[in-house]
Chains A and B, each alone.
Chain A
């Protein structure tokens, strides 16, 4: 495992890379060695309680059978909800419902949750009694660079809010100025290499590794130097003659060899793909041992008759035109699924426009000439975001002083900015969906939609004047809410965290009154013919996740197999649809 760990250890990485598993295994490892350990989860989808089969929650709880380990689960969503309640509670019975709803939406963005989570971190990082009581405090999440940079800007705390008159990403901190010293101390601890180590957790995949490289750079830039790379879920190098295993080993090797020099220079630990989910003490303690499931008697897949993507395409095709959007967290395969659906529709004779934000574009670039009826366009999020930032700096920024401009620049690095810039580009494309199929590999979140829809008032105004103007007037929001015009496909992987995250995306869309059309479970081992014992064992762990999607989360669903090769070209994409 990891050695010479300091007082504070943070695990960071995208959802589903195994932050919680590694944090739990590390904690048990340290506690078994006699250290006093506090394990803290601030993951809203925390399953630390499930891992240890102990109900934990928002207070420090002893873990059975691990004498010196205690754990604490903090839900940043609940912290954000508390914050919203602090603001809204006092006026709930005075201001009208409509005003309350708009305040609620303003405070429902990613920023509020981020700041609320940081608020919880700082309480722990600056609590002397806790620091003395434990040898190690292990966190299964870490604050983002965006949050830390904001807190380090002097302007965040002083006059800008007054003179500018507006709120900012730090809105949730308004009135908390007295906590300024505590925040400064927390940021100080994070930057102290003797006190804090940051462990970047990644999967052995190109997209996941680039994400780790980006986080590494961002956090190193703001002074967090003590970083470590953990590559989780590496396929052991014995394919046992299985073609899928063989190609996975090759692909992972290429991805790891291709990492940036900055990332390669970090101390590195690799963890092999385990046959089981890391639930329970035995599994956590096995983390250190070689994989022992390489030669079990050949078991066969328990799950059969998984619905293929072609069933979904049949139903989508019936309308003859419309908008199809794939939606999901990074790395789940939104672009692949969008491309496969687009190619299949085009091959069946429909006019299709595929619009993608895929930064690599290798998947879609090859398609343009491949199939009749298919047009491919590309939106570069980096370019769109830059254009948008420049526009705002040139307009709004022009009248601000140096401090105000710095603050504005940081606000423009917030997670909302890219989403909005990209959505603006998309809304230009959306209109084509009245005539043909438009397939996109992204979709705005419910929060963005609600804000962009001018909190519904534009929408309402149009409805109010509908009789006077054109009865056929349609806002982008109305188009997205209408299932006959728009079909949202939620893409996920057959693993616990990705499914939970996808369920949260779906809830967020529901606030905007958009019901996803279907779920697509991508990269399923259960849907392959693999006979590699480790992969067969992994395939079995997919069953409860697929069942949850089928029974609880989706109106209809499809399962797409893990592929031996990247689906480049129309032919391989169509094979994906057939399953």
Chain B
């Protein structure tokens, strides 16, 4: 059974009302995680401004925090192994790590986000 843990940058509002712009990337990612759950994968998201102890407790994430001070969030761990940082991975990547098959019509609509997103545009 795969467990995916996402360590998010600090966010104060669910809406991103405190961000300069709302990040479509986050919506898509939330939908992708929902889909992953429906495929039987265990998913957990942890926010730096709510559960910072979790960031310190995990050796890989802690090392990342020490190195970048949080600039490299979000970090994604698959079964406690760091697989991605400083970006929200795509549904395909999530599926690969979890050994789940993506049917083409299930792919969430991807906006033009490959190069433009900024982890900090949602509050932090």
Chain A residues near B (Cβ < 8 Å): 87-88, 90-91, 94-99, 102-103, 105-107, 109, 111, 160-161, 163-169, 171, 174, 388, 391-392, 395-396, 398-399, 407-408, 411-412, 414, 416-417, 420, 424, 448, 451-452, 454-455, 457-458
Contacts and interface: CB of A to CB of B under 8 A. Distances in A.
Given A166-B30, A171-B49, A408-B15, 13 more contacts: A90-B53, A91-B56, A95-B65, A99-B69, A106-B124, A107-B49, A111-B12, A174-B50, A391-B22, A395-B24, A399-B27, A451-B124, A458-B120
Given A99-B70, A414-B17, A395 B22 contact: yes
Nearest to A460: B71
B89 interface: no
B107 interface: no
A87 B120 contact: no
Interface stretch (B3-11, B75-83, B90-98): B3-11
B100 interface: no
Contact of A99 (B6, B26, B47, B65): B65
Given A94-B56, A95-B52, A160-B14, A165 B69 contact: no
B69 A412 contact: no
A451 B18 contact: yes
Contacts of A98: 69-70
A457 B49 contact: no
A164 B8 CA distance: 12
Interface size of B as a range: 35 or more
6 contacts: A99-B48, A160-B14, A165-B47, A167-B12, A167-B49, A454-B124
A87 B120 CA distance: 21
Interface in B3-54: 6, 8-20, 22, 24, 26-28, 30-31, 33-34, 45, 47-50, 52-53
A164 B30 contact: yes
A412 B20 contact: no
Contacts of B12: 106-107, 109, 111, 167, 171, 451
A395 B24 CA distance: 7
B10 A420 contact: no
B60 interface: no
Most interface-central of A96, A102, A163 (chain B CB within 10 A): A102
Contact of B27 (A91, A388, A396): A396
Given A171-B12, A412-B17, A414-B17, A457 B31 contact: no
Contacts of A452: 18-20
Given A395-B22, A396-B27, A448-B18, A166 B13 contact: yes
Contacts of B49: 87, 102-103, 106-107, 167, 171
B17 A103 contact: no
